[in-house]
Chain A
Amino acid sequence: MGKGKRLARVDREHCVACGCCVKVCPKGAIQVVRGVFARVEESLCVGCGKCAGACPASVIGMEGAER
């Protein structure tokens, strides 16, 4: 992992699909897919980490983007 762009990553297995992350994302980069898990649109994510802070289950982490 370098100092490159950070991206939000969701642990889909433990995501409760509450949608708290969707509400706080300033870029509309995260959506709840069919009520099952949250999914990050990597091209829109700016790595601000707001979704990770808001996630009540703490299943969103910030990771370096793959180049």
Chain B
Amino acid sequence: MKKRWYDYLWIASALYLILGFFNILFAWLGLLCFFLPLIISIATGSKAYCNRYCGRGQLFGLLGGRFGLSRRHDVPRWMKSKGFRYGFLLFFLVMFGQMLWNTALVFSGARDLREAVTLLWTFRLPWHWAYHGGAAPWVAQFAFGFYSVMLTSTVLGLGTMVLFKPRSWCVYCPMGTMTQLICRAKYRPEKVGK
């Protein structure tokens, strides 16, 4: 099958994590992965972002597929249930809200900047080498928080890639669940046939 430019977006995803390791302010670029899927699904009523442009999914597909790092087992039934998918989306949004709250506290001066990345919403990893000053504290705090979200989802995705199928992350990806909900709300069966 002929490769198109968007089949190489996995490079952008890998580059994002690498750049953020050295300079946390690159984490802001991750907002593209947050807003683009929403904008595309609201504007077009499709999951074109997941279907074509998701570099992270491509990265898992490449590592688990071509590099053979996946056991290629079926995901457990509970993982594809609506309860788990919607529950994980809710949990993810709450954690995202908490990250925004922490940013607001730094913005208001109620709290000092914490130069750490939190992995799996639990483990605080020192990440001081990645920030060299020059930005407002709240800008840096948001970057640390957002990078934590991106790193955590990558680690989860890599874990389920190894245990199950390469793109198992797509089954419970909060952005995928959210965009599918938007598409479902816009869906009119009579317009697309059987």
Contacts and interface: CB of A to CB of B under 8 A. Distances in A.
A67 interface: no
Nearest to B47: A35
On chain A, which size bracket covers the interface? Answer: 20 to 34
Interface stretch (B94-102, B121-129, B130-138, B184-192): B184-192
B45 A56 contact: no
Contacts of B176: 16-18
A17 B180 contact: yes
A32 B51 contact: yes
Interface string B73-94: 0110000110001000000000
On chain B, which size bracket covers the interface? Answer: 35 or more
From DSSP, what is the main secondary structure of chain B's interface residues? helix
Contacts of B41: 35
Interface string A52-63: 011111110000
A28 to B, nearest CB: 10
A21 to B, nearest CB: 10
B46 A32 contact: yes
B187 A20 contact: no
A32 B168 CA distance: 18
Top-10 shortest CB links A-B: A35-B183, A19-B51, A35-B47, A18-B170, A58-B74, A56-B167, A35-B46, A57-B80, A56-B165, A57-B171
Interface of B: 1, 41, 45-48, 50-52, 57, 61, 72, 74-75, 80-81, 85, 164-171, 176-177, 179-180, 182-184, 186-187, 192, 194
